[in-house]
Amino acid sequence: MKRIVTATVNNRAGVLNRITGLFTKRQFNIESITVGHSEVPGISRMTFVVQVDDDNKIEQLIKQLNKQIDVLKVNDITSQSYVARELVLIKVLANAQTRSEINGILDPFRASVIDVSKESLVVQVTGESEKVEALIDLLSPYGIKELARTGLTAFTRGTKQKAVTDIKHYTLIK
Amino acid sequence: MNAKLTAEKNEPVKKIMNGADMLIQALREENVELIFGYPGGAVLPIYDKLYDSGMRHILTRHEQGSIHAAEGYARVSGKPGVVIATSGPGATNIVTGLTDAMMDSLPLIVITGQVASGVIGSDAFQEADVMGITMPITKHSYQVQDVRELPQMMKEAFHIATTGRPGPVLIDIPKDIAGAEGMFDYSQELQLPGYQPTVKPNHMQIRKVLDAIAEAKKPVILAGAGVLHAHGHEELRTFAATQNLPLAHTLLGLGAFPADHELFLGMCGMHGTYAANMAIYEADLLINIGARFDDRVTGNLKHFAPNAKVAHIDIDPAEIGKNVPTQIPVVGDAKEALQILNQTTNAVGDFTEWHERLNGWKTEYPLAYLEDGDELKPQKLIELIHQTTNGEAIVTTDVGQHQMWAAQYYKLNSPNRWVTSGGLGTMGFGFPAAIGAQLAEPQSTVVAVTGDGGFQMTLQELSVLQELNLPVKVVILNNKSLGMVRQWQQLFYEERYSHSKIPVQPDFVKLAEAYSIRGWKTETEEETRKALEEALAHPGPALIDVRVAQEENVYPMVATGKGIHEMVGIKP
């Protein structure tokens, strides 16, 4: 099953390496990882999508992540109410005849064209993975030349979660 | 020398100094008495400062010797072992020891030199990506990028290595950082929001353990090295005795509970006793204290404690439920948990029938071997060592047959006398570990029980024995083979002894003599007993090369894939 796990981590050299190394060592199957700064300087947020066989595996994954000194907080948000988005860029073949047809497909997806050339279009779409998959399915008959996905980034809805700003900021150099 | 150290310790040091001085000062602040290491280009600034620091440094003859010695020191003293190695090959030579310390939860502070910051990443001379290499085999690691970080990193490193589940912490110091200057201030508080080990266990969970004991008919304790790391051996004895619970040890837990105690079942697992394994197989309650359910303990998980409710006390929450489903998880320090267990009064269960069954197994299937033929049996050798040392020696071993026989036949009654490579199973560990153990306890008798295979992996450290005149007694259980490999080939590979026999060997006695160490070569029981007595009476280092029966096997045994109740060789 697919699980979405978020982690707040110290933004220090090698942290991503530590975490992906842990996934490799413990044989967890990673579908995607996204990393970027959080609202607190020096603290990054990671979102992992992992495939696991059972609940024990995900429990073990979270426990192992928690053991990392630079990991501040880990949360399996799969069964919570969350917002999740990924960004996809699709370069699709398009000529004068098919261009408007493609535009018609893009509209309901709230996707936009960000580059046009004689033979192709570059389409940008954000959303949950299912929506992205659906658009890719619809565009593939036209011929997809290139495709780049960011992987999922996510957090929980509302403010029930303790914000990372509550975690004391940590630096070595005073 | 010591006066100077103490004087400097009392005054809080807060001044501008360079990285190498900071390192030495931090070691002082942490009361480090001993460093094991090997110099090289990238750590020259550190060694230069070490020269007149007054700190004791042991120069081993290989970095692997340094780190195994530090592990032995840590295991026996309970203090972190400190290692310094240079960049590149120096650092890669300690990889085995780091992994070993990680697997067996030993606190180590490992300082590696690194090429200068400016050339990191350029494949400079003696450069290796030590952080990348060691990340999976350390509890945590640091690369110093600014000299001002160094004191705080050292403080954190000692804290992380020695608290929670102990483990090795590595600090990689680029050469230029050792020379750069900054403010040394060790008084800052630690801020490690991502590292908050749970030491105090939850009382409700502890209550559940006691309730489970009240309901149980066939309870058994499985105690591991976590008890020793927590210094909880006395509490363990009280707990088992007051609750009248039988107890089995893991390999690494040996010594935490007295071997001559009537409640002791012996070691469990692949080469455990019949009583210990059957107790776990039949138990309706298994209380694991500080053991990680290694596969050498559990055998086939399908048949491991199939009828038992499992309670697991461990300071590392990731160990609970990792291998064996657990009904009563207790996260916390073993000593703290046992103290609470011992404070709480409850009616002691009547386990008479259970004890009778266990005692029946103990009497009917004790550890035994046949004393046939002219050759000295290796089990007998361990018994001789036990007799001549009154069972009080610190025993160190590598991995393999000699390790299992030592675990089975050297009956330990007190803690921290057993230094063995459990998790990683490292050949070449026992001898350098004995050096560290002897330095930790100069007054104790330290016996390194090694095989002829493992000893040849790190025997260059004989030079350290010679130099320091350390009274370590090396006993080579010499069966002219890689015994455990040979045993497995005999049992599972149709006696095809592929490269497991070592017919040509050095003359170990002459080798010892080359290092000015007294040596004996023995074959019979009488010769061996005499040599052991002489070696123990001898004030300096000694080596005894004991020729034992080559084709002897370690029994009882649980074959791979079998349940621990499916033992073979329970009768000789």
Contact B135 A167 (CB under 8 A): no
In CATH, what number is assigned to the domain containing residue B287?
3.40.50.1220
Residue at B435 is within a domain: yes
pLDDT average, residue stretch B104-131 = 97
Place of tokens 């060691």: B134
pLDDT of residue B553: 97
pLDDT digits (tens, 9 = 90+) for B155-213: 999 999 999 999 999 999 999 999 999 999 999 899 999 999 999 999 999 999 999 99
Q: Which of B338, B365, B392 is the last residue of a domain?
A: B365
Tell me whether the CATH fold assigned to A2-80 matches the one assigned to A85-155.
yes
Residue at B566 is within a domain: no
> Could you tell me which residues come within 8 angstroms of residue B362 by beta carbon, excluding any fewer than 6 positions away?
B265, B273, B275
Residue at B410 is within a domain: yes
Contact B193 A167 (CB under 8 A): yes
Same domain for B416 and B545, yes or no, is yes
How are strands ordered across the β-sheet holding A43-51?
A: A29-37, A43-51, A2-10, A71-76
A173 pLDDT more than 50: no
Domain A85-155, classified CATH 3.30.70.1150, yes or no: yes
pLDDT of residue A161: 52
pLDDT digits (tens, 9 = 90+) for B15-33: 999 999 999 999 999 999 9
Q: Which residues of A fall within a CB distance of 8 Å from B136?
A: 21-22, 25
**Which 65-84 residues of chain A touch chain B by CB within 8 A?**
66-72
- Sorting pLDDT into bands at 50, 70 and 90, what band is A87? very high
- Sorting pLDDT into bands at 50, 70 and 90, what band is B12? confident
Residue at B572 is within a domain: no
pLDDT digits (tens, 9 = 90+) for A8-67: 999 998 999 999 999 999 999 999 999 999 999 999 999 999 999 888 899 999 999 999
The CA R_g of chain B, rounded to the nearest whole Å, is 24
Element (H, E) at B98: helix B95-103
pLDDT of residue A167: 44
In CATH, what number is assigned to the domain containing residue B539?
3.40.50.970
pLDDT of residue B348: 83
- Sorting pLDDT into bands at 50, 70 and 90, what band is A166? very low
pLDDT of residue B345: 76
pLDDT of residue B11: 67
pLDDT of residue A13: 86
Kindly report the length of chain B: 572
pLDDT digits (tens, 9 = 90+) for B330-362: 999 999 999 999 998 777 889 999 999 999 999
What single DSSP character describes residue A165? G
Residue among A10, A21, A173 whose CB faces B194 most closely: A10
Report how far residue B165's alpha carbon sits from residue B187's, in angstroms, rounded to the nearest whole number: 25
Same domain for B361 and B383, yes or no, is no
Same domain for B387 and B530, yes or no, is yes
A169 pLDDT more than 90: no
Report how far residue B512's alpha carbon sits from residue B538's, in angstroms, rounded to the nearest whole number: 14
- Could you tell me if A117 lies within 8 Å of chain B, comparing CB atoms? no
Extents of the domains making up chain A: 2-80, 85-155
Alpha helices in B135-273 (DSSP H): 150-162, 175-179, 203-215, 225-229, 233-243
Query: What domain range includes position B408?
Result: 378-554
Q: Which residues of A fall within a CB distance of 8 Å from B153?
A: 172
Residue B33's alpha-carbon distances to B46, B59, B150, B198, B470, in angstroms, are 16, 14, 20, 29, 17
Amino acid letter, B103: M
Active site residue B63: yes
pLDDT of residue B8: 52
pLDDT digits (tens, 9 = 90+) for B555-570: 999 999 999 999 999 9
Same domain for B395 and B539, yes or no, is yes
Instruction: Determine the angle formed by the axes of helices B19-29 and B2-10, rounding to 10 degrees.
Output: 90
- B162, B147 in Cβ contact below 8 A? no
Element (H, E) at A5: strand A2-10
Residue at B321 is within a domain: yes
Chain mean pLDDT for chain B: 96
Q: Which residues of B fall within a CB distance of 8 Å from A13?
A: 143, 145
A171 pLDDT more than 60: no
Same domain for B391 and B357, yes or no, is no
Same domain for B305 and B428, yes or no, is no
Residue B476 has a CB neighbour count (10 Å cut-off) of: 30
Same domain for B177 and B130, yes or no, is yes
Burial of A44 (0-12, 13-18, 19+ CB in 10 A): buried
Domain A2-80, classified CATH 3.30.70.120, yes or no: no
> How many domains would you assign to chain B?
3
B320 pLDDT more than 90: yes
pLDDT average, residue stretch B281-306 = 97
Give the chain B residue nearest A168 (alpha carbons).
Answer: B193
In Å, how far from its chain's centre is CA A153? 3
Active site residue B484: yes
